[in-house]
Chains A and B, each alone.
Chain A
Amino acid sequence: MEILQQLINGLSLGALYALIAVGYTVVYGIIQLINFAHGEIFMIGAFGALTAWILIPGESLGIWQLPIMLVVGMVTAVGTSLLTERFAYRPLRNAPRLAPLITAIGVSVFLQEFVRLFYGRIPGFPDARRAIPFPQINYVTGPAIQLGPITLQRAALFTMIALVVCWVFLYVFVNRTRLGRAMQATSQDPDTARLMGINVDRIIMVAFALGAALAAVAGLAWGLRYTNIDFRMGFLAGLKAFTAAVLGGIGNINGAVVGGLVLGLVEGMATLIPGTFGGSAWKDVWAFVLLILVLVFRPQGILGSRVVDRA
């Protein structure tokens, strides 16, 4: 039964990774940039949601606030993401690949520091230099659901449902809309796409925005699940999510989702490893070992990469 329990835990954790991983994969699929700052976009999404809750008068935990928090979180995350794209990455579109990657590290540190230094300075806002308790909204948090021997946290269930909804939305968006098909075309061949009349700059913005919106969902889910947020939460989560994206096959949206779930499962199962190198202390190590193994034996990822190696 312990296995089943860890399976559920792993899946819900994996759902979080999957939501963030989509952002890495769409951006990488189009401009071959590891958007190192994407983890911070996720963090900013969580802070945006928190801000919405603080700005709503009263200390109510009513479920009606959830959509407002979600929308504000998304707007903040998308806005930040588009700003970084416009001012940090776009000028480097044709630079050697080292330059945007280093810029991305800079952006990542900058966003972390920005939140750490300035969030708490707004009157009435909590000091962001420490972990901030996240509002535990009714119904989506609270007493866990018991399914026989298995405990299912409500926030975990919320995360999984959110992933399913987002996945359906993504599927429809990418395959059924003009914009989504333009995105696919651009990721296959940006030059030809441009010749076909696709505004590549706009598609790149859409990719950044799409990733940021899903990251904001993940940020909210994270806050509900782990009950507090801090300015550093994006680093490890982002790293894991990138691992997930590579695992599934970078550039492949379904791959990101599958990769996220697999990574979550591996982490969940790793806690079951008996003996010295098992337990939760080593689960991060196993996650990264998995990444290295995948790169050695199947560099194109589980579902296969959609990116031609243009390096």
Chain B
Amino acid sequence: MKIPQVITPERQQRLDPTGRWVGIAGGVVLAASAFLPWAYSFAALDGMTLVGYPSPLQYCGMVLGLLVAGLIICSRLIKPRGKIRVGWVRGAKAAATGALVYIAIIILSIAVELGGLINVVYGGWLALLGAALAFAGTRLMIMDKPATLSHAQIGPTLEILLIAVVMGAALFATAFALNIDDGGTFVSFIAFLGAFVAVLFRVGAMGFLSGASQRHRKVLILAAFVVAFLFPFTQGGSDANMSIATQVIIFAAAAMGLNITVGLAGLLDLGYIAFLGAGAFTAAVLSRSAFATADIHPPFIVVVLIAGAVSATLGLIIGSPTLRVSGDYLAIVTLAFGEIFRITMINLDGEAGPNITHGSNGIPAIPDLALFGFDFGKPHVLLGIPLGRFSNYYFLLLVLIAFVILVFVRLNNSRIGRGWVAIREDEKAAEAMGVNVFGLKLFAFASGAFLAGVAGAVKAHQDISVTPDQFIFLESAFLLAAVVLGGMGTVLGVLVGATLLKLLPEKLRFVSDFRLMIFALLLIVMMRFRPEGMIPSQRRQLEFHEEDEELAERIEEEVEETGALKGAGVL
């Protein structure tokens, strides 16, 4: 049976100008609607009831509208120069799609928060109409060729300046997003950010940025850490967001450790949380808490090393017998190991076993850290800005995650990392080529466990108490989800995945009961449609789409151009 072709090339040629005008009109309507009220009551989202005074979310809508219109206009006015192409139309399409999703989320949020679509006022409907027009219009336009901005250069000074500006914008957006208390507003803003980043990708700006950051890698990393370092200063002494931020970093550090085991070596570990727990319990037992069961209290630096060593030893103990079996078994054995760990921690309560952990009560009242005379429990004032307890831990954790990322990147780009890739892709072939399969697998297990142990030691002090029920299977599943959803084997992907997974539940209190269910659905849908994750490494992407010749060709082309497999792990 032949499927009739609705859109023939000729018809598309004919419809292209129409689509352009419709798209521009839609974008303008959307942008203009920002000046009109969208919601009936001030209580919805961030107050969209005024004429002439757009709320922040309305400004975001306006930006998307102007982007659609602007990109379409640029696609006609600016011709490609030499080999360098900008993906104007692609960008416009992404902007229009993003705008439609964004406006739909806003309208739904208004309906949910105020009870019914009746509370959406004419401005909101106009915005939806504009977004729909923009979407329909851009659909009709002919797709242009992919952007090739990654070759463009504008000189080192400007490029470094640009990196700084982008980082600053990222800091501003994060601080803004975290200060949103309302769930609907938060989701809408995240949707806006998603749309905006998608446009940057499609236009080719991201290609340019990644090209620029490749050239100034050190500047980029420095800038990223400066921005992360500046973050507490944007909070004005409030510890609420800092508490979330520290949770996010610990989670991300653990996910990064798991990323070594799962992402690089391809060993599925479903009991990884036990390593974090081992580190946390070690630190707790050795701490100066009144409930600590050990009599020696070494300084924290030593404790961190002991915690890491205990976890790594556990990793070796569980790894050495089981790594000989195939992948599926390993998943179940690690899962069983996670359960053994939890049950053992509950049983070491003085009744069923020796008293080490006080059973399910755990070890409470772990004192705050004091390093080099710096008390992490006390608020400090730096440059006139007050910093609370969690901010102190935040700085320590920044150092920790920098260390974890460093270990990850260095391992990935080494002989060991290449060995892992070989094992992951074909174990037998790797063995035949002389790769020490067993040793490398064991090392992946142990190094991942070590990093988790270190993270756990800090977590114990920051959380004040350590109990066995913090280390249930679901936590392992969450960590794994962060790695898988973000993009196995990448740094950026896993950071983004961990941040989203930890941040969204904090901000989405109104769906808290459905949280796990949404998480589960996300996992299933993601595996179905994008198993390589949000920000995949290209090698992984190829592994998951073996039949996709087009993708293979595209990546090959890119490799020829840049001379390296980009995103094989780093950023």
Contacts and interface: CB of A to CB of B under 8 A. Distances in A.
Given A96-B543, A110-B521, A292 B528 contact: no
Q: Which of A102, A236, A311 has the most CB of B within 10 A?
A: A102
B352 A279 contact: yes
Interface in B313-343: 318, 321-322, 324-329, 331-333, 335-337, 339-340, 343
Given A235-B473, A292-B321, A92 B528 contact: yes
A291 B331 CA distance: 13
Contacts of B340: 284-285, 288-289
A113 B268 contact: no
Contacts of B318: 292
Contacts of A276: 352-354
Interface in A257-311: 276-277, 279, 281-282, 284-285, 288-289, 291-292, 295-296, 299, 309, 311
Contacts of A105: 270, 477, 480, 523
B358 to A, nearest CB: 15
B344 A109 contact: no
Nearest to B322: A295
Contacts of B270: 105
A309 B327 CA distance: 10
A95 B335 CA distance: 22
Interface stretch (A51-59, A137-145, A162-170, A239-247): A239-247
Interface centre among B346, B347, B514, B520 (most CB of A within 10 A): B520
A246 B328 CA distance: 11
A106 interface: yes
A115 B558 CA distance: 48
Contact of B517 (A32, A92, A102, A113): A113
Contact of A295 (B321, B346, B354, B484): B321
Contacts of B222: none
A285 B544 contact: no
A109 B472 CA distance: 13
Contacts of A101: 268, 328, 331
A283 to B, nearest CB: 9
B51 interface: no
B516 interface: yes
B560 interface: no
B524 A103 contact: yes
Contacts of A284: 339-340, 343
B332 A109 contact: no
A107 interface: yes
A97 B514 contact: no
Contacts of A311: 326-328, 427
B474 interface: yes
Given A291-B336, A292-B322, A98 B520 contact: no
Contact of B524 (A107, A113, A236, A295): A107
A8 B384 CA distance: 72
Contacts of B352: 276, 279, 281-282
Given A105-B477, A105-B480, A114-B517, A97 B328 contact: yes
A103 B322 contact: no
Interface in B487-523: 513-514, 516-517, 519-523
B74 interface: no
Contact of A102 (B266, B328, B480): B480
Contacts of B484: 102
Contact of B326 (A107, A236, A309): A309
A232 to B, nearest CB: 10
Interface in B517-535: 517, 519-524, 527-528, 531
Interface in A7-32: 28, 32
Contacts of A102: 480-481, 484, 523, 527
Interface string A91-127: 1100111111111011111101110010000000000
A75 interface: no
A113 B337 CA distance: 24
A285 B344 contact: yes
Nearest to A293: B321
Nearest to B516: A113
Nearest to B472: A235
Given A107-B524, A285-B340, A291-B336, 18 more contacts: A34-B332, A97-B327, A99-B527, A101-B331, A102-B481, A102-B523, A106-B522, A106-B524, A107-B520, A109-B516, A109-B519, A239-B336, A281-B347, A281-B353, A292-B333, A295-B329, A299-B325, A311-B327
Interface of A: 28, 32, 34, 88, 91-92, 95-103, 105-110, 112-114, 117, 235-236, 239, 242-243, 246, 276-277, 279, 281-282, 284-285, 288-289, 291-292, 295-296, 299, 309, 311
5 tightest A-B CB contacts, nearest first: A106-B523, A110-B520, A281-B352, A109-B520, A288-B336
23 contacts: A88-B528, A92-B527, A96-B531, A98-B266, A100-B527, A102-B480, A102-B527, A105-B480, A106-B522, A106-B523, A106-B524, A109-B474, A109-B523, A110-B524, A246-B329, A281-B353, A282-B343, A282-B347, A285-B344, A292-B318, A292-B337, A295-B321, A299-B329
Interface of B: 266, 268, 270, 318, 321-322, 324-329, 331-333, 335-337, 339-340, 343-344, 346-347, 352-354, 427, 473-474, 477, 480-481, 484, 513-514, 516-517, 519-524, 527-528, 531, 543-544
